């Protein structure tokens, strides 16, 4: 991810529109093309079923680096994009009676009332870029007819379960279906074909010397604006803001205002885009702090994470708009997602989801009638539930996708996707876990995730953890608190996997290790574990604290019991020998040290005072207190009794 001050807050602005004659299309890209096929981009911005709602929000990502597919091994190969034939069909073969119509046109429009010839019963194969009509259900049989994308592709429903389509050859075909479901699948796929991008030309993007494109977080607002002057009775328009930073949600008020202006003055769309782009990228961010990842981790332990924001002002239409930029978000913590709705909707099923993400299983959230915004929140909530400590999950996430996005989706191992098309539920080879947003039901694919005959060893731990989480939700604890509970629970599993866990007693450690052995083994086989190990190694190499014992001892002070006086003195000596700069103080995360001011041993209490006097000497108290509570003075604001204990020990040691 880009540094907070570096580069533009927004890279691209895109406007899409649905036209009843032209379908979904891109009308403007500013200051230049995003670099993906316009039709694919338009379908991402105009979600299925948007005509049923006044407005909606979606979020999508661009310029994925493909690292996940490379690291995915067998799973990546198993998820190759479908090819023609039985393995590439998007739906089970369907029966239909086929009719041929006279090629009789009036004014360029086919009149399906003219003479028709019954051809007979055929079998339809729904493929990614076509519909093939065959004599029987054998996918190897030759095709009698093929329906593909072409400039004149047209679809008309003449009566319930009877529809007509114009093929590329100019032949009008009639289809009589045995069920409304079959007709719905067929009509939906024809609409998909009509909106498909043209086949890409060979040669790629023009060579390997191009500059690497930044990963972009794209927030999209779509509005269904009533207009009696147009054929549909409404104009559907969408605006997307693409940023290299995950906090794209801060621009929501600006996006609503800008889109309203575009409806009022459609001829000034380009000028409005330019003004939005300039307003965002002209913000004065010179004073925004640049925090390292260890600094962010420490500050997350504070009382009020929401207050860890930088307030800035942007000017749009000569009006100042205050925005607050989050300072603590990592690259996997996107927009204003929440974890609590996920827990409330899935209930105990949230732990099935938890384990599926850890094992890098393919997860699909589906909502046939709900909003795309709800899907987006559930996908991002799943990512946020697991990261931190896991890393790289955002590049496995597809908050909203559709059939047009299959080529990007299927090669990614362990993807987490949100969809509204019911075809995804029917195609079980596309998912391992299916979460129905409407009902909260979590379904496991029996072909890839067979039910265990015996209860898994970690099931009891998960059930106890869920009860604690559910109780906290019912007691109205905030989303940050719930997220930290997941972070701590998963963090302990991760620490056991990497050999860094600390427990109160050896027996407790052994019990937890044994209970989690199976899922840890599964995680270690995934690309997610490889990414985590690479990330951990990189952090250690970049750390200002070179002695790894410091981090281990901080964890030990937080978790272990019965540490002897001699061990405590050795721990403090290690701190004093290895922590002498502000940066090292921040990275150490030394809040657990403060409780040693109450230790029964005077030598330990004196060592604690000596360490805190060093903090004061290097003028790090302000930094430390900002990591936990707000106010003036680290100790005073952490805890009144700790503050008194520090002063008492300071006087006694003087």
Per-residue pLDDT of 231-243, as tens digits, reads: 666 788 999 999 9
pLDDT at 574: 82
CB atoms within 10 A of CB 265: 11
Q: What is the pLDDT of residues 309-354, one digit of tens each?
A: 888 999 998 889 999 998 888 778 898 899 999 999 999 999 999 9
Residues 6+ away with beta carbon under 8 Å from 530: 71
Kindly report the pTM of this predicted structure.
0.71
User: What pLDDT does residue 7 have?
Assistant: 54
3-state secondary structure 161-229: CEEEEECCCCCEEEEEECCHHHHHHHHHHHHHHHCCCCCCCCCCCCCCCCCCCCCEEEEEEEEEEECCC
C-alpha span between 118 and 100 (Å, rounded): 6
pLDDT bracket for residue 5 (50, 70, 90): very low
Asked whether the predicted pLDDT for residue 4 surpasses 80, the reply is no
Q: Judge if the upstream peptide bond of residue 31 is cis by omega within 30 degrees of 0.
A: yes
Which of the listed ranges 59-68, 365-374, 567-576 does the model predict with the highest average pLDDT? 365-374
Write out pLDDT tens, residues 114-129. Answer: 456 777 888 888 887 8
The pLDDT of 265-282, averaged and rounded, is: 92
pLDDT over 50 (residue 111): no
pLDDT at 138: 65
For residue 587, the model assigns a pLDDT of: 63
For the chain, give the mean pLDDT.
78
Is 90 exceeded by the pLDDT of residue 479? yes
pLDDT of residue 233: 66
Q: Is pLDDT above 80 for 285?
A: yes
Q: How sure is the predictor about 92, in pLDDT bands with cuts at 50, 70 and 90? A: confident
pLDDT at 435 over 80: yes
| Residues in a beta bridge with 19 | 23
Q: What is the pLDDT of residue 36?
A: 85
- Residue 535: both structure tokens together: 């990330």
| pLDDT for the residue numbered 297 | 66
pLDDT at 197: 67
Task: Give Cα separations from 393 to 209, 257, 380, 390, 424 (angstroms).
Answer: 28, 32, 10, 7, 21
pLDDT at 217 over 70: yes
Most confident option among 151-160, 219-228, 247-256, 565-574? 247-256
Q: Which residue has the higher pLDDT, 60 or 114?
A: 60
Q: How confident is the model at residue 646 (pLDDT cuts 50, 70, 90)?
A: low
């Amino acid at each position: 991810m880009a540094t907070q001050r570096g580069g533009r807050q927004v890279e691209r602005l895109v406007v899409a529109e649905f036209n009843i004659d032209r379908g979904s299309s891109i009308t403007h890209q500013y200051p230049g093309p995003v670099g993906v096929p316009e039709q694919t981009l338009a379908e991402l911005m105009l979600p299925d079923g948007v005509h049923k709602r006044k407005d909606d929000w979606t979020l999508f990502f661009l310029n994925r680096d493909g690292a996940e597919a490379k690291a995915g091994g067998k799973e990546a190969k198993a998820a190759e994009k479908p090819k023609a034939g039985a393995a590439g069909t998007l739906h089970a073969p369907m029966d239909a009676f086929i009719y041929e119509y006279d090629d009789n046109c009036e004014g360029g429009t086919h009149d399906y009332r003219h003479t028709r010839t019954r051809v007979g019963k055929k079998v339809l194969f729904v493929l990614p870029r076509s519909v093939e009509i065959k004599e029987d259900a054998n996918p190897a049989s030759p095709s009698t007819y093929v329906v593909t994308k072409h400039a004149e592709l047209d679809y008309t429903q003449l009566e319930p379960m009877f529809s007509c389509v114009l093929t590329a050859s100019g032949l009008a075909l009639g289809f009589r279906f045995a069920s409304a479901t079959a007709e719905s699948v067929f009509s939906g796929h024809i609409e998909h074909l009509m909106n498909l991008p043209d086949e890409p030309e060979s040669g790629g993007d023009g060579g390997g010397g191009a500059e690497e494109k930044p990963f972009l977080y794209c927030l999209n607002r779509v509005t269904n604006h009533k207009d009696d002057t147009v054929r549909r009775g409404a104009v559907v328009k969408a605006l997307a803001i693409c940023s290299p930073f995950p906090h794209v949600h801060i621009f929501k008020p600006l996006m609503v205002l800008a889109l309203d202006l575009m409806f009022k003055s459609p001829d000034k769309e380009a000028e409005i885009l330019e003004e939005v782009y300039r307003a965002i990228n002209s913000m004065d961010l010179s004073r925004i702090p640049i925090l390292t990842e260890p600094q962010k981790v420490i500050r997350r332990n504070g009382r009020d994470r929401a207050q860890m924001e930088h307030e800035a002002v942007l000017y749009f239409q000569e009006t100042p708009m205050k925005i607050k930029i989050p300072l603590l978000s990592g690259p996997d913590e996107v927009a204003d997602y929440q974890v609590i709705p996920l827990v409330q909707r899935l209930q105990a099923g949230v732990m099935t989801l938890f384990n599926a993400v850890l094992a890098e299983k393919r997860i699909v959230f589906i909502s046939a009638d709900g909003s795309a915004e709800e899907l987006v929140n559930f996908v991002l909530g799943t990512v946020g539930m697991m990261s931190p400590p896991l890393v790289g999950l955002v590049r496995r996430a597809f908050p909203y996708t559709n059939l047009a996005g299959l080529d990007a989706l299927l090669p990614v191992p362990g993807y987490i996707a949100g969809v509204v098309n019911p075809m995804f539920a029917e195609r079980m080879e596309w998912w391992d876990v299916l979460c129905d947003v409407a009902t909260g039901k979590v379904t496991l694919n029996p072909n890839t995730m067979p039910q265990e005959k015996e209860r898994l060893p970690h099931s009891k731990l998960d059930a106890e953890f869920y009860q604690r989480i559910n109780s906290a939700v019912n007691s109205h604890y905030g989303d940050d608190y719930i997220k930290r509970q997941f972070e701590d629970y998963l963090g302990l599993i991760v620490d056991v996997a990497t050999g860094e866990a600390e427990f109160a007693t050896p027996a407790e450690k052994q019990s937890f290790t044994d209970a989690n052995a199976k899922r840890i083994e599964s995680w270690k086989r995934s690309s997610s574990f490889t990414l985590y190990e690479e990330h951990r190694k990189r952090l250690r190499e970049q750390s200002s604290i070179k002695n790894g014992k410091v981090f281990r001892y901080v964890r030990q002070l937080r978790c272990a019991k019965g540490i002897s006086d001699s061990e405590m003195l050795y721990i403090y000596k290690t701190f004093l020998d290895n922590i002498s700069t502000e940066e090292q103080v921040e990275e150490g995360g030394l809040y657990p040290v403060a409780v040693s001011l109450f230790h029964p041993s005077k030598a330990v209490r004196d060592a604690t005072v000596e360490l805190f006097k060093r903090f004061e000497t290097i003028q790090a108290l302000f930094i430390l207190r900002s990591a936990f509570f707000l106010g003036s003075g680290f100790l005073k604001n952490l805890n009144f009794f700790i503050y008194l204990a520090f002063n008492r020990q300071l006087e006694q040691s003087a």
